[in-house]
Amino acid sequence: MATSMSLFLLLSLLAFAPFCLCNFYQGGYLYPQFYDYSCPQAQHIVKSTLAKYVEEQPRFAASILRLHFHDCFVKGCDASLLLDSSENIISEKGSNPNRNSARGFEVIDAIKAALERECPSTVSCADILTLAARDSVVLSGGPSWEVPLGRRDSRDASISGSNNNIPAPNNTFQTILTKFNLQGLDLIDLVALSGGHTIGNARCTTFKQRLYNQVSGNGEPDSTLDQYYAAALRNRCPRSGGDQNLFFLDFATPYKFDSTYFKNLLAYKGLLSSDQVLLSNQESAELVKLYAERNDLFFEQFAKSMIKMGNISPLTNSRGEIRENCRKINA
């Protein structure tokens, strides 16, 4: 009876979670039709260019989705992550969460170049990244949604924000939730967006501690990691070396966007500690169980949470600029 009541409450929360496609911010609105007149082919160009890269290398889908996440958690969704270092800018690409792991910048460059040919100085890099994240999910078999548009690009970056605001693989559940809350995201968003790990890879160095020394000094593997799965991981993630070796975040369906990620967690086969800790909180654990059983509910909430994340502190109207090159501010 208690379980049924908990499920009812969760479904009620999901049903009334905010789902708005038109949002007002200081200086202006974001809305899906923003480029309908100024660049009507914008969304088609983004998806068709992205599709060529994903077809050649499916991993790009997860890489682009991750870029969007890491961009939005630092100063909002303003494409600050795309900036290279320059005389006055220290790039976020060199931060701890991004160094040697953030990738897919050449895909964004190609999309931007195509859009500049079609409609110069019109579509922002921030909107390109937001659209490409949605299309990466769709091309991997996941849900689609209308993306509110009209963001502009920042003229600076924040490596300190990148180092401090983005959840780390070894963060506790409460630390991760706090970092989400600071962005205006809640526990439901946290669990749903974590489901983005249904595609993509992680380096050995991001989870090695779980295999050999989860509790400092005891030399024992993480007790919440399936022992047979841990043994398989140790074959390519040795105690010493192999830090850059790649592993699927979802070993069962690594290139398919689905709810298998949540099923893996229930089997104690989450790759990162930050994934498996979703079972350490009663409310998040209930959502993990729900999404493992109901792929449709996961897809629905993931779309809502992606819209919500994409609306974090956008620059609109005269704030920021429309970069001609996503890697550098305009002269």
> Active-site positions?
70
Consult the annotation and say whether 198 binds a ligand: yes
* Inter-residue long-range contacts of 163-167, CB under 8 Å, 24+ positions, other chains counted: 163/95, 163/96, 163/97, 165/73, 165/74, 166/69, 166/70, 166/73, 166/74, 166/95, 166/97, 167/73, 167/274
222 in a labelled binding site: no
The answer to the question of whether 254 is labelled as a binding residue is no
Look at residue 25 and give its three-state secondary structure: strand
User: 270: annotated binding-site residue?
Assistant: no
Tokens of 14: 């999901």
User: Looking at the chain, how many residues does it have?
Assistant: 331
Q: Is 44 annotated among the ligand-binding residues?
A: no
Residue 18 is assigned to a ligand binding site: no
Is 92 annotated to bind a ligand? Reply is: yes
Task: Tell me: is residue 68 an annotated ligand-binding position.
Answer: no
CB atoms inside a 10 Å sphere around CB 91: 18
Q: Confirm if 313 and 78 have CB atoms less than 8 A apart.
A: yes
Tell me if 74 is assigned to a ligand binding site. yes
240: left (phi over 0), alpha (psi -120 to 50) or beta: beta
Any binding-site annotation on 250?
yes
Which long-range contacts link 110-115 to residues 24+ away (Cβ below 8 Å)? 110/49, 110/53, 111/45, 111/46, 111/49, 111/50, 112/323, 112/325, 112/326, 114/45, 114/49, 115/39, 115/42, 115/45, 115/46
Query: Is the distance from CB of 320 to CB of 83 less than 8 angstroms?
Result: no
Annotated binding site for heme b: 197
Annotated binding site: 71, 74, 76, 78, 80, 92, 167, 197-198, 250, 253, 258
Annotated binding site for substrate: 167
